[in-house]
């Protein structure tokens, strides 16, 4: 059995090292100190939906004069405000690109209209001069007329709110710990379609996008022996580019405007059956859920967009059910052997980064010559997922609970000469409170199924797990496990 346990621990440790290596690649993927060549511009989470829209019956010619930053905000600096704006001033170019990508519109140039008209004047003047100087008197065809638009798109970036949500989490025990901080900003975009024939506003839509900034620090500071200190620290911060978030909000606004226009017969699909495609139906479901969430709570307060986003996150993540198989080792006054342990848990996501877990487990601790303990334990844990947007992400947790131990141990009494005069097997039973902390790495095979490995430290406020209250510290034990989680409602 010991050989089986040793093989199990080596397998779990190998998988843990592999996941840590992959996690490092996922976290700092693409972060190189070498110069990199220019690449094609990035795509957002909405881009694939935008380019996958069904074909229109006929493309619509429209004009965009100016899609402005109407926030008037500047970047905050130290000690005051800089002259750099908080959001991009190139929103018009982003909107035109989104309109082209949708394949529903034919945008015409209006932002640089003076330049266009001036260039056309130069062409006319050059042609007239050429015709006057041409002895044969050849006629030169006139310039074709400019296209005119049946629609004008108006709107802009109407708000940029900073620090709408801030927070963090940290834990440290025996010199080992870490912390995480985050901050959320929010940008809001309004877009409306105006008829050029009568000036009527045909449809208006609005979208919001949060801008997330995160910082994670991990470190250890501990005396490993006399006059020997182990000190190590690492950290990472990530910031969503505001430009990318503005682009995603604009693309979402174009996507919403197209589907809303289809629903109100402002424009038509080439194939009317495409209205029942999953892409359009998913949007209608999202819109209906949003409208239901924008309502008053029991205290009469309006649940705003941010609250609605969190509630939708609850519904998206739902509950998770999982189990662990692990190798457990006692750390106390006696040398110990590995014993198997089994855990079952229910996990509930509060936000993409924070979740609660109820854990139930059973296992054992053992020293062959001194004691053997069966343990049944339960804990409530808080988990912090460091990079929830990635398929492979590390997390840390901290919790408290209780355990029931049932120990069979050998009681020995010696005489003055060291001879054993009493040797008998005794029993020790009881309940003890516990505090536990640990780290883990989770890999998602799909949005509903993941594998994880964890390193868990359990500390008890008793010295009776081994049946003998001796030594200078309370009993504790380590647990290294491998398991799976199922998210059926995600």
Per-residue pLDDT band at 51 (split at 50, 70, 90)? confident
Percent of the chain surpassing pLDDT 90? 4
Is pLDDT at 17 greater than 80 in this prediction?
no
pLDDT of residue 343: 92
Q: Could you read off the pLDDT of 270-280 as tens digits, one per residue?
A: 888 888 888 88
**What span, in angstroms and rounded, lies between the C-alpha atoms of 253 and 363?**
54
- The secondary structure element, H or E, covering residue 288 is helix 278-293
Backbone angles phi, psi at 488, to 5 degrees: -70, -25
Higher per-residue pLDDT: 455 or 372: 455
pLDDT in tens, 117-151: 888 888 888 877 776 666 555 666 777 888 888 88
Q: Taking 50 as the threshold, does the pLDDT of residue 316 lie above it?
A: no
Name the residue with higher pLDDT: 30 or 232: 232
Whole-model pTM over 0.75? no
Q: Is the pLDDT of residue 459 over 50?
A: yes
| Cα–Cα distance measured from residue 33 to residue 35, given in angstroms and rounded to the nearest whole number | 7
Q: 489 pLDDT exceeds 80?
A: no
Domains and CATH numbers, the chain: 2-21+318-486 (2.40.160.20), 55-110+149-269 (3.40.50.10610)
Degrees (nearest 5) of the Cα angle 344, 17, 487?
35
Distance between CA 472 and CA 365 in Å, rounded? Answer: 19
Q: How is residue 155 written in tokens?
A: 């709107």
The per-residue pLDDT of the chain, averaged, comes to 76
Q: What percent of the chain clears pLDDT 70, i.e. is strictly above it?
A: 73
Token pair, residue 249, equals 């909000």
Q: Give me the pLDDT at residue 163, please.
A: 78
Q: Is the pLDDT of residue 297 over 60?
A: no
Who wins on pLDDT, 434 or 317? 434
Q: What is the pLDDT of residues 346-367, one digit of tens each?
A: 998 887 778 889 999 888 877 7
Burial classification of residue 272, based on how many CB atoms lie within 10 Å of its CB (0-12 exposed, 13-18 middle, 19 or more buried): exposed
* Buried b or exposed e, range 134-154, using 16+ CB within 10 angstroms: eeeeeeeeeeeeeeebebbbb
């Amino acid at each position: 059995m010991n050989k089986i346990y040793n093989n199990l621990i080596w397998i779990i440790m190998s998988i843990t090292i592999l996941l840590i290596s992959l996690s490092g690649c996922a976290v700092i993927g693409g972060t190189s100190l070498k110069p990199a060549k220019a690449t094609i511009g990035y795509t957002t989470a909405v881009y694939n939906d935008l380019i996958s829209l069904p074909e229109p019956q006929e493309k619509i010619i429209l004009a965009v004069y100016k899609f402005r930053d109407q926030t008037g905000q500047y970047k905050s600096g130290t000690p005051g405000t800089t002259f750099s704006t908080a959001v991009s001033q190139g929103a018009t170019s982003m909107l035109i690109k989104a309109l082209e990508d949708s394949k529903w519109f034919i945008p015409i140039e209006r932002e640089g209209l003076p330049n266009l008209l001036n260039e056309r004047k130069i062409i006319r003047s050059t042609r007239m001069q050429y015709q006057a100087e041409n002895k044969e008197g050849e006629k030169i065809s006139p310039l074709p007329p400019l296209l005119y638009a049946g629609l004008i798109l108006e709107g802009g970036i109407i708000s940029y709110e900073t620090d709408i949500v801030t927070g963090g989490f940290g834990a440290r025990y025996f010199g080992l710990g870490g912390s995480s901080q985050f901050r959320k900003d929010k940008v809001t975009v309004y877009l409306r379609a105006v008829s050029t024939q009568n000036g009527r506003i045909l449809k208006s839509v609005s979208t919001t996008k949060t801008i997330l900034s995160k910082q994670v620090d991990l470190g250890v500071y501990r005396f490993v022996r006399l006059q020997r200190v182990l000190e190590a620290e690492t950290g990472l911060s990530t910031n969503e580019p505001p430009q990318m978030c503005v682009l995603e909000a604009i693309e979402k606004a174009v996507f919403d405007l197209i589907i809303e226009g289809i629903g109100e017969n402002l424009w038509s699909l080439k194939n009317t059956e495409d209205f029942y495609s999953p892409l359009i139906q998913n949007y209608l479901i999202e819109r209906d859920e949003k409208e239901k969430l924008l309502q008053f709570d029991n205290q009469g307060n309006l649940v705003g967009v941010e609250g609605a986003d969190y509630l939708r996150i609850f519904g998206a993540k739902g509950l998770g059910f999982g189990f662990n198989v692990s190798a457990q080792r006692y750390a106390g006054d006696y040398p110990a052997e590995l014993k198997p342990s089994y855990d079952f848990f229910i996990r509930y996501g509060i936000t993409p980064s924070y979740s609660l877990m109820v854990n139930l487990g059973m296992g054992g601790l053992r020293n062959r010559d001194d004691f053997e303990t069966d343990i049944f334990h339960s804990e409530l844990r808080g988990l912090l997922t460091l990079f929830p947007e990635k398929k492979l992400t590390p997390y840390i947790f901290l919790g408290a609970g209780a355990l029931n131990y049932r120990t069979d141990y050998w009681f020995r009494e010696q005489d003055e000469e060291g001879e054993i005069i009493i040797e008998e097997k005794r029993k020790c039973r009881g309940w003890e409170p516990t505090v536990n902390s640990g780290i883990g790495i989770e890999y998602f095979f799909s949005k509903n199924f993941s594998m994880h490995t964890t390193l868990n430290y359990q500390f008890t406020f008793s010295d009776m797990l081994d049946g003998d209250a001796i030594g200078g510290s309370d009993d504790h034990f380590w647990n290294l496990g491998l398991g799976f989680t199922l998210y059926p409602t995600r």
